[in-house]
Amino acid sequence: GNSVTQMEGPVTLSEEAFLTINCTYTATGYPSLFWYVQYPGEGLQLLLKATKADDKGSNKGFEATYRKETTSFHLEKGSVQVSDSAVYFCALTFLNAGGTSYGKLTFGQGTILTVHP
């Protein structure tokens, strides 16, 4: 079946440090890949996405590249801020044999990021 594996957390960084959160996936068909972010006490928000191999998603200084050869979608940011403290979820949807997806998101386990001043 389809699954997403994220690096174990929590991750604690100082402000302006470089961030990488690893994400790998297992999927049949052609998945689209997402990073969602959950700030404390809130629902999830889309951070970025990529729908085909070699696409790069980017938003708010975060980037992730869809790597089909390594089945990965690692999240990176060059200089984190205290306001980036949140839980980050890697996720995928996929097209089934009938060409539909029904939008079912399969999530990784989430990575808690804490950034200190």
Partner 1 sequence: DTAVSQTPKYLVTQMGNDKSIKCEQNLGHDTMYWYKQDSKKFLKIMFSYNNKELIINETVPNRFSPKSPDKAHLNLHINSLELGDSAVYFCASSPAQLAGGPGDTQYFGPGTRLTVL
Q: Please report whether residue 104 would count as binding partner 1 according to CB under 8 A.
A: yes
Report the alpha-carbon distance of residue 13 to residue 3 in Å, rounded: 27
Q: Please report whether residue 114 would count as binding partner 1 according to CB under 8 A.
A: no
Name which of residues 60 to 99 contact partner 1 (CB under 8 A): 87, 89, 93-95, 99
Give the nearer residue to partner 1 in terms of CB position, either 41 or 117: 41
Between the CA of residue 63 and those of 22, 79, 101, what are the distances in Å? 12, 12, 25
Q: How far is the CB of 100 from partner 1 (least distance, A)?
A: 6
What are the tokens at 114?
Answer: 């804490």
Residue 19: CB atoms within 10 Å = 18
Length of the chain: 117
Q: Please report whether residue 6 would count as binding partner 1 according to CB under 8 A.
A: no
18, 26, 28, 46: residue in contact with partner 1 (rule CB under 8 A) = 46
If phi > 0 it is left, if psi is from -120 to 50 it is alpha, else beta; for residue 82 that is alpha
Q: How far is the CB of 11 from partner 1 (least distance, A)?
A: 13
SS3 86: strand
Q: Please report whether residue 101 would count as binding partner 1 according to CB under 8 A.
A: yes
Amino acid identity at 29: G
Question: What are the residues binding partner 1 (CB under 8 A)?
Answer: 30-32, 36, 38, 41-46, 49, 51, 87, 89, 93-95, 99-107, 109-110, 112
